[in-house]
Amino acid sequence: MGQNPPRLEMYQLIHADCFDWLRKCPPHSLQAVCTDPPYGVLEFSKPEVAKLRAGRGGVWRLPPTIGGSQRDPLPRFTVLTDAQRDDLRRFFHDWATLLRPALVPGAHVCIAGHPVLQPLVQIALSEAGFEIRTAIMRLYYSFRGGDRPKNAEKEFPDVCVTPKGAYEPWMLFRKPIEARTVAENLRRWKTGGLRRLSTDRPLPDSIPSGRTPDREEAISDHPCLKPQHFMRIIVRSLLPLGEGTVLDPFMGSGSTLAAAEAVGYPSIGVERDEHYYALAQRAIPQLATLYPRFRGEELELQADYRSGPELDKQQMDFALAEKYRKRKAKAV
């Protein structure tokens, strides 16, 4: 009496290489993909992950501490050679070729990117038969760019080599629709468009975000954990009628699956690394239950926080953590 029925998870976790898994995936079984893939391709290889975990060397760069606060390791994409860039393009082409049959016509694929590598991924997916459908900018203060010329900082105090990064592109692709119109495709396959935030508000192509809040990083120490606020908005938008299954083939610790769970969508996550797979098993239920009122229908971080006496403390903590981060970033 008075007890809630046990909660049945809507997600499925698979410990495998996604290339192998996709080869066996039934055709037309998935309606959307949202993923944050490896980029140097080599940065999540066994030797590089060992170097990351040892905190020394390799493609992973440990940025200097700022104001006593430790910053997350970042992969050093500038070290990629021409041959590695070709590998990267081939990697995404092969991956997209395997993915395509598993998707229904009109399914959207959303891929986290890096401004420098974005064209390689777009060409690869286009050559594998996907349509390029713009990109959504996650707006946040990043540690990318803005530096003066190395070892000549004093000589060129007014020069920055690249602009200071304040966005992360999430590239959108679509498997071509099969019907004559989007409306017909929506009726037949439930895909082809994107879900609006609300009837009056379309999904915009830039979303104010922030760095992943500390409380989420306390749940998962994956170096590429993405924030629930942004992930819930994106994942929700990928199923235009709110029906279907979302795949994350490079799941990491599962921020996509946690977002899908919070929004109420079935999802599948594939992860190759044993450690990250086990981390996802622990992290997804915890991440999914944060900010219980936030289901990706609002852009504002403090959507619930404005709702008066029934103020949700968790949501408020989230908003305050973001404010604090922004103040800290401004001070740098």
Ligand X SMILES: C[S@@+](CC[C@H](N)C(=O)[O-])C[C@H]1O[C@@H](n2cnc3c(N)ncnc32)[C@H](O)[C@@H]1O
In the complex with ligand X, the residue whose CB is nearer, 169 or 193, is 169
CB 33 within 8 A of CB 18: no
CA 263 from centre of chain: 15
Which residue in the shown chain puts its C-beta closest to ligand X? 252
Choice between 17 and 86, CB closer to ligand X: 17
Q: Which of residues 305-324 bind ligand X (CB under 6 A)?
A: none
- Minimum CB–partner distance for residue 279 and ligand X (Å): 8
Site size toward ligand X (CB under 6 A) is 19
**Residue 18 near ligand X by CB under 6 A:** yes
By CB under 6 A, residue 276 contacts ligand X: yes
Residue 134: exposed, middle, or buried by beta-carbon count in 10 A (0-12, 13-18, 19+)?
exposed
Q: How far is the CB of 294 from ligand X (least distance, A)?
A: 17
Strands (E), 140-181: 167-174
Among left, alpha and beta (phi > 0; psi -120 to 50; other), residue 175 is beta
- Cβ(125)–Cβ(119) below 8 Å: no
* Parallel/antiparallel/unpaired status of strands 30-35 and 246-248: parallel
Please report how close the Cβ of residue 7 comes to ligand X at its closest, in angstroms: 22
Rounded to an integer, what is the distance from CA 141 to the centroid of its chain?
Answer: 16
Question: Tokens in use for 312?
Answer: 């949700």
d(CA 15, CA 21): 9
216 binds ligand X (CB under 6 A): no
Least distance from C-beta 75 to ligand X, angstroms? 9
Residues 223-242 that bind ligand X (CB under 6 A): 224-226
Stretch that binds ligand X, among 4-12, 115-123, 143-151, 269-277 (CB under 6 A): 269-277
Residues found near ligand X in the complex (CB under 6 A): 17-19, 36, 38, 44, 222, 224-226, 250, 252-253, 255, 270-273, 276
